[in-house]
Amino acid sequence: MIPIKLQIQHIHKAFKNHVTALEDISFSISQGEFVSVIGPSGAGKTTLFRLLNGTEDCTKGQILIDDHPMENIRRQQKRQFKKNMSTIYQDFCLVENSSCLENVLTATLPDMSFFPAVLGLYGTARTEKALQLLTRVGLAEKEQEPVKNLSGGQKQRTAIARALMRQPSLLLADEPIASLDPVTGRQILSLLKDIQQKDGVTVLMNSHNLELSMEFSHRLIGLNNGRIVFDGSPDEINDSVIRTIYGNSSVCSLNKNRKDVGL
Ligand SMILES: Nc1ncnc2c1ncn2[C@@H]1O[C@H](COP(=O)(O)OP(=O)(O)OP(=O)(O)O)[C@@H](O)[C@H]1O
């Protein structure tokens, strides 16, 4: 794993329909942090993740990777950066008819030459690594199981193993527990925390679940209406901060808010 420093500087994002999803967003993330981006629906969380994983471009501002603007990084470096960053999603984005092992191995396709990639000839080293990762995420017995036969939690574990296959420095977790029941969601966050603590992987998560975000993160970034309205540790979260992030109408107290935001 190659440590990376990520700096977001004065990012704006406006869409063609003139909706401004993000305004003047700035923050930095150091290697090994566990950061959660929280905020109400429409606050801009997904848009921020789409800028970070390169699915969208910002209208203004810049993303710096190790002090270099992302858009200026030469093709090879950009490929290296993408290799250093993996994303997991709410809906897992797995190939349902393929086995867990095959899904994990697909992470290596961008690094393979044409014919082995087309023929699915991953080789012993890649296969052993994929099997080790499936063991790491608790799916040693499921390697040949088609993904369609797995539970939601097992699917997210497979997606995490696939994300780890390229030894990322940064793991973007886009609503990783939104499709899961609370017990399974907590298990998945425990796994992400273990990966962050033991491997030093930076985890940047986007979540509606305030309570679990507070429990598992070092730092919370609160978005409201496209702007950062809070950036601090879970200890600094109080009723006033919650009202600032989620709005007055939905919140009376921390405990009540936890229910209001789906906890
Ligand atoms: N492709 C798009 N075109 C136009 N507007 C968009 C597009 N994507 C997002 N938006 C708008 O940008 C704003 C932020 O949306 P975004 O999906 O980032 O919010 P969010 O915080 O992730 O919400 P949720 O928690 O409901 O997923 C919203 O007003 C949304 O309608």
> For residue 122, what pLDDT is reported?
80
Confidence tier at 123 by pLDDT (50, 70, 90): confident
Q: Which two tokens stand for residue 170?
A: 């940064």
Q: Mutation test of ligand 1: which of 47, 172, 213, 227 has the most ligand atoms closer than 8 Å to its C-beta?
A: 47
* Domain residue ranges in the chain: 6-260
pTM of the model as a whole: 0.90
H/E segment holding residue 23:
strand 20-29
Residue located via tokens 């940047």: 204
Whether ligand 1 lies within 6 angstroms of the CB of 41 is answered as yes
Average pLDDT in the chain:
89
pLDDT tens-digit readout, 1-57: 777 789 999 999 999 988 999 999 999 999 999 999 999 999 999 999 999 888 898
The CATH fold assigned to 6-260 is: Rossmann fold (3.40.50)
Dihedral class, residue 171 (left if φ above 0, else alpha if ψ from -120 to 50, else beta): beta
Residues 175-210 pLDDT 10s: 999 999 999 999 999 999 999 999 999 999 999 999
Alpha helices in the chain (DSSP H): 45-52, 75-84, 100-105, 114-119, 123-136, 152-164, 182-199, 210-216, 239-246, 254-260
> Which mutation among 15, 179, 245 tests ligand 1's pocket best, with the greatest number of atoms within 8 A of CB?
15
What average pLDDT does the segment 204-218 reach? 95
Cα–Cα distance measured from residue 33 to residue 176, given in angstroms and rounded to the nearest whole number: 17
pLDDT at 258 over 70: no
The pLDDT of 92-115, averaged and rounded, is 90
Over the stretch 56-97, which tens digit does the pLDDT of each residue have? 989 999 998 888 887 766 556 666 666 688 999 999 999 999
Residue 159 has pLDDT above 80, yes or no: yes
Spatial contact of 232 and 214, defined as CB atoms under 8 Å apart:
no
